[in-house]
Structure 1
Amino acid sequence: MDDDLKRFRQAMDETTPEPSAKRRAENLDAALKKFDLSQGLEDPARLTQDRAPQARGFLRGLKKMITGFKNPISLAATSSLAVASVAAFAVLPNVNWNPAPPLPAPVSDFQGRALESDVADLAVTQELEAAPVATPLPSREEAATARIKRAPVVQQSQPQHTESIGAGAAYPEADTEAYSNDVANRVVATSENSVSTFSIDVDTASYSLIRSSLTNGRVPPADAVRVEEMINYFPYDYAPPVGENVPFSTSVAVFATPWNSGTQLMRIGLQGKMPLTEDRPPLNLVFLIDTSGSMEAANKLPLLIQAFGLMLRSLDPLDEVAIVTYAGSAGEVLAPTPAGERDKIMAALQNLSAGGSTAGQAGLQQAYAVAEKMTQDGEVNRVILATDGDFNVGISDPEALKEFIAEKSRTETYLSVLGFGRGNLDDRVMQTLAQNGNGHAAYIDTLAEAQKVLNDQLSGALFPIANDVKVQVEFNPAMISEYRLIGYETRILARADFNNDAVDAGEVGAGHQVTAVYEITPVGSPATLNDPLRYGAETPVENPNRDEIAFVKLRYKVPGEAESRLLEMPVAPSLATPDQDGRFAAAIAGFGQLLRGSSHMGDWGYQEAIDLANGAKGNDPFGYRAEAITLMRLAKTLTEN
């Protein structure tokens, strides 16, 4: 019997492989990797299980203990200990562990190649695959990102998005965001340069970005603040245009500056004409949707789908909609479809998912090609790009994009840009595209903002009534010693650009309003900042037009025409008491300058802006002005020591 037992043991020894410390260490590494991913360690906010750090530390210690043994006998002796420890680990108290789901197929990159790390994961031994993992499980894209930012993942199926996204949705640290702005406009001596020229701007993206920052407890970066977009976010009671062929009216008001008693504010207001609904031309829309991996967050692609769903409700049934998406590559998801087939369009939208890199150039090319096929005489073509602006494949440099879009704008297809999400938002790209694509830019941070931009103001957003609108103001040196344009830093034009019809400028849509504010200093005011020149010809200005402080000129093109038309009006020196609209616009202008850290505000601060705006809310049916006052209060609190 003893001999038989010896022979049996000898046979077992000969057929049993030597224990491998390296193999066990590799298996434990794989288990640790799975544990990291299940706990979302790339994002500390996801560590919701109290015992998760302890459990992870246990696995780390187990690996160290096993790899620390130098001889096979000691290693074999710990084999049962390792298995038993993992089993005991599964029943740790106070941890809600769920059985591990079956391993999915390996993640592939956008060219269809399996990721090497996923193949390695599939080689993990069966007993380690059975180890429990914590919930919630990461998505496959998160898993790929956690593996040291390897290649982007392919698109995945997602559930339909039905719930609204709130205003206070948190966003990642804005360490990769980029904004389009310039140094604030300086005070100009009229005797040196009496002419100011700029392109109009109907964008509102900056205000929504500021709201997103403040409602999340952050003061927005100064470069994110474009004061003109804050002022133009709000409706004002401007007189409508008079005359059959006049696309917009112009009004000018002059009143005292709230933050400087020695200066005045000159407000220029444009009111676009609103045609009757039955008179508007047919509309061809191409939804160009960024479905790259960066769009996966709830306040990006899911909110985008809801926003376009609201827009569909306001379209004419005979308008046409096509959908083009882009990630690793671009493609047409929905061929041109009548807007009346809303269920079909919504089904295509709700089937979208996020994944891959951001081939923005390919998407734009595809969208313009689709729009060109939809073009017919008398119809309006518009591409609506919805993105976080994070272009990383193809053209991504703003200057290169400017040239590309400027060329495409000659096709009579307008381009509007809707920004979504925070963290990697590239506002520079959005502004470049909108300003050079004959369109406008808005930032959608809530479903309520989508309602405002894509439903309440749909006509202004989609139907142009005037192209290449430029403003030129000549100040009378006999009456005005200095002036400063508040905002419009990215829209400044050279004096000669005003009469050059080849120079692009902003568009005005149906019913759109445009507001511009100058701070002006009358001659003789103690607020004058520029001293007389010692060697200059500082003789009194002889000017017969002393009944004018400025002369305002506007140029615009009727859509489809190549030659611009001219409007002119003098500005009388009468100083009026500002109405509610004037006071509120001044409050917003002051608010924006405070956020930018302007040196022109003196002791005037957030409380003064709050008081001024509170007294000028007037008729505020949608609560826009009340919301602005809340933002002022938040800014005051966040900036107080």
Structure 2
Amino acid sequence: MRLVKFTGIAVLSLLIVGCAAESGDLAGSSKTAGDIAVAPPPPPPPPPVLSPSRKETVVVTGSRMANVTADGYYAPPVMVPSDPGRERYDGEEVSPVKLTSAEPVSTFSVDVDTGAYANTRRFLRQGALPPRDAVRTEEMINYFRYDYDKPSGTDTPFTTNIDVAKTPWNDDTYLMRVGLRGYDIARDERPASNLVFLMDVSGSMGSPDKLPLVKTALAGLASELGEQDRVSIVVYAGAAGLVLEPTNNTAKIRSALNKLNAGGSTAGGAGIELAYNIAEDNFIKGGVNRVILATDGDFNVGVSDRDALVEMVEKNRDRGITLTTLGFGTGNYNEALMEQIANHGNGNYAYIDSALEAKKVLGDEMSSTLFTIAKDVKIQVEFNPAVIAQYRLVGYENRALREEDFENDAVDAGDIGAGHQVTAIYEVVPTGKKGWIAPRRYGGRYEDQPQRAATDRVAEAAHVKLRYKLPNGSRSRLLEQVVMSDAFTRARAPSGDFAFATAVAAYGQLLRGDEMMMDFTHEDVGTLAGRQSNFWRQEFLELNALAASVNPVRRGGG
């Protein structure tokens, strides 16, 4: 068997040029990502019937594995569950079903991270299923933009959009989508930024998908900055050091980046401590003060204890210095640490697997990445047990809060950046429908009749509340919205934008092995998503098709 290796650099360059020409700057545009049409790449020729004697194994760098004939045709890959090896993930079990009579209230912190989507894409393109613990469905859903109403001003930093549809995979349940959309910030209205690039230059960062891609990503971000902004660069390997004093000179920033090389061990904790000190020394009151950590997460020297790192991150967060983490590479990737410290640092977490993703996160979505418009955003939904019998929240397992945390302003929660969108989907069982949990033989508190307060408000199915603080505020504000019961009686199958969001949710849950997806398959996901003109949505259809090549569909322990 002969191993042939192709590179995807030329194709990637064309994609970047084409995407930039077609899309422009999303952050400064009123268009959503769904409004932008990019012509899909031509489909590959149909594969001929392969004989075992004519197969060759071909590895396509940055793309996918395939079986290729001597004529150059390929057949779809047969993927197997991946072995994460030294990579570290910290997943949660799929959210359990709740009986409304016993637990009518659901409370969680918003999540605007997208790293799980890009990381899952990396596994699929390598011809393997992602580890289940690497899949967070809310990050899959929030990777995309949806057709939510824009805020009319900045007094209320985001709009609340709620809609209901029948569940495509279960005739007895419905989906309730809660969507938030933050206001946009014009380029000339952006607050001044004090950014510290904290770069891992240890030996583990030497491969092409690590330090070279970090340089590309941060050089792109530097080109988006204005005259009032400042960038410093701190590096760490065997030791940590400042290699660029604060500047807004793009040429100096790029020159400093180009001089960096990988080598040595990883004093990650020491690097973060120095970066925070630099950020504090150059603090801009009323501006953005943020450390941007770029690494494969392989902390093995210095302050490597997770609790000590979290304490350091939270201490600086409370002083107004936030943390964004950018993950890179394969093999020793510590996603668990990257995602968790970003959460505690009131920043966001992204995984960069290509120059195109770097442009998306640090170019097109720079305002969302850097400029906070609302902090400590919490969502609480109370279902009426007279109308809704059972429910479950799709995703957000590691963002769950206690009911009493909702009104406690001392409890930290997620932030929303300019132009950010947040989507949460509940699957619910109306009263009288067959639920996931069967009635009990001897009754009990789960079968008690709803209280008078519930039956008196039978026209209401749910009460949605949101709490948030303004960027410089210490007291939260409350938004409330009632979901009427007739929204469920009038509901039809999801269509358009809602159908695509539902398809992405199903894709994530199938990759997680969710047993409550019934007989729904990746082929059903593709049908539900429909044809798409936006580049990122087209790519989703391709990734879902790759996942569909796994047989059988991942379920439970299989």
Interval of TM-score (by shorter of Structure 1 and Structure 2): 0.7 to 0.9
Give the SS at the match of 2:416. Answer: strand
Which of 531, 543, 548 in structure 2 is aligned with 1:636?
A: 548
1:173 shift after superposition: 6.9
Which of 342, 367, 371 in structure 2 is aligned with 1:463?
A: 371
1:89-108 equivalences under 5 Å are: none
Query: Which residue matches 2:516?
Result: 600
Q: Are 1:547 and 2:455 an aligned pair?
A: no
Structure with greater strand percent: 2
User: CA offsets per residue over residues 92-111 of structure 1, 9 Å max, x none?
Assistant: xxxxxxxxxxxxxxxxxxxx
AA at the equivalent of 1:337: T
Q: Are 1:481 and 2:389 an aligned pair?
A: yes
1:470 shift after superposition: 0.6
1:593 shift after superposition: 0.8
Cα distance change, pair 353–375 in 1 and its aligned pair in 2 (3 A)? same
Q: Are 1:386 and 2:294 an aligned pair?
A: yes
Q: Are 1:529 and 2:437 an aligned pair?
A: yes
User: CA offsets per residue over residues 585-618 of structure 1, 9 Å max, x none?
Assistant: 1111111111011110111111111111125x3x
Cα distance change, pair 532–480 in 1 and its aligned pair in 2 (3 A)? farther
Which of 156, 162, 170 in structure 2 is aligned with 1:260?
A: 170
1:638 shift after superposition: 3.0
Is the CA contact 2:153–2:183 (under 8 Å) kept in the aligned structure 1? no
Is the CA contact 2:238–2:264 (under 8 Å) kept in the aligned structure 1? yes
Q: Could you tell me how far apart the structure 1 residues matched to 2:360 and 2:161 are?
A: 25
Q: Could you tell me how far apart the structure 1 residues matched to 2:159 and 2:538 are?
A: 28
Structure with greater helix percent: 1
Query: Which residue matches 1:447?
Result: 355
Q: Could you tell me how far apart the structure 1 residues matched to 2:187 and 2:414 are?
A: 24
AA at the equivalent of 1:470: K
AA at the equivalent of 2:537: R
Query: Which residue matches 1:248?
Result: 158
- Larger mean Cα displacement after TM superposition, 576-585 or 562-571: 576-585
AA at the equivalent of 1:637: S
When normalised by structure 1's length, the TM-score is 0.72
1:533 shift after superposition: 6.5
Q: Could you tell me how far apart the structure 1 residues matched to 2:349 and 2:215 are?
A: 18
1:239-638 equivalences under 5 Å are: 239-338=149-248, 341-532=249-440, 534-537=442-445, 538-541=447-450, 542=452, 543=454, 544-573=456-485, 574-575=487-488, 576-577=491-492, 578-615=494-531, 617=532, 620-621=533-534, 623-638=535-550
Counting matched residue pairs gives: 474
Is the CA contact 1:189–1:481 (under 8 Å) kept in the aligned structure 2? yes
Is the CA contact 1:468–1:555 (under 8 Å) kept in the aligned structure 2? yes
AA at the equivalent of 1:561: G
- Larger mean Cα displacement after TM superposition, 530-539 or 364-373: 530-539
Is the CA contact 2:105–2:383 (under 8 Å) kept in the aligned structure 1? yes
User: CA offsets per residue over residues 191-228 of structure 1, 9 Å max, x none?
Assistant: 11000110000000000011000011011111100000
Q: Could you tell me how far apart the structure 2 residues matched to 1:345 and 1:259 are?
A: 51
Give the SS at the match of 2:159. Answer: strand
AA at the equivalent of 2:483: V
Q: Could you tell me how far apart the structure 2 residues matched to 1:318 and 1:166 are?
A: 40
Q: Could you tell me how far apart the structure 1 residues matched to 2:441 and 2:363 are?
A: 55
1:535 shift after superposition: 4.8
Is the CA contact 1:210–1:220 (under 8 Å) kept in the aligned structure 2? yes
Give the SS at the match of 1:468. Answer: strand
1:640 shift after superposition: 4.5
Q: Could you tell me how far apart the structure 2 residues matched to 1:539 and 1:436 are?
A: 40
Q: Could you tell me how far apart the structure 1 residues matched to 2:520 and 2:336 are?
A: 31
Is the CA contact 1:174–1:422 (under 8 Å) kept in the aligned structure 2? no
Give the SS at the match of 1:639. Answer: coil
- Larger mean Cα displacement after TM superposition, 435-444 or 527-536: 527-536
Which of 180, 190, 194 in structure 1 is aligned with 2:90?
A: 180
Is the CA contact 1:305–1:349 (under 8 Å) kept in the aligned structure 2? yes
Q: Could you tell me how far apart the structure 2 residues matched to 1:535 and 1:519 are?
A: 24
Give the aligned CA root-mean-square deviation in angstroms. 2.1
Give the SS at the match of 2:381. Answer: strand
Give the SS at the match of 1:567. Answer: strand
1:418 shift after superposition: 0.3
User: CA offsets per residue over residues 507-540 of structure 1, 9 Å max, x none?
Assistant: 1000000000110000000234241472524343
1:402 shift after superposition: 2.0
Query: Which residue matches 1:80?
Result: none
1:467 shift after superposition: 0.7
Is the CA contact 2:193–2:284 (under 8 Å) kept in the aligned structure 1? no
Larger-Rg structure: 1
Q: Could you tell me how far apart the structure 2 residues matched to 1:247 and 1:491 are?
A: 21
Query: Which residue matches 1:168?
Result: 63
Q: Could you tell me how far apart the structure 2 residues matched to 1:606 and 1:173 are?
A: 22
When normalised by structure 2's length, the TM-score is 0.82
Q: Could you tell me how far apart the structure 2 residues matched to 1:307 and 1:419 are?
A: 11
Is the CA contact 1:398–1:432 (under 8 Å) kept in the aligned structure 2? no
Is the CA contact 1:326–1:362 (under 8 Å) kept in the aligned structure 2? yes
Give the SS at the match of 2:468. Answer: strand
User: CA offsets per residue over residues 145-179 of structure 1, 9 Å max, x none?
Assistant: xxxxxxxxxxxxxxxxxxxx963399x97310111
AA at the equivalent of 1:313: S
Q: Could you tell me how far apart the structure 1 residues matched to 2:104 and 2:317 are?
A: 33
More relative contact order, 1 or 2 (CA 8 Å, 6+ apart): 2
AA at the equivalent of 2:170: N
AA at the equivalent of 1:479: V
Q: Could you tell me how far apart the structure 2 residues matched to 1:269 and 1:530 are?
A: 31
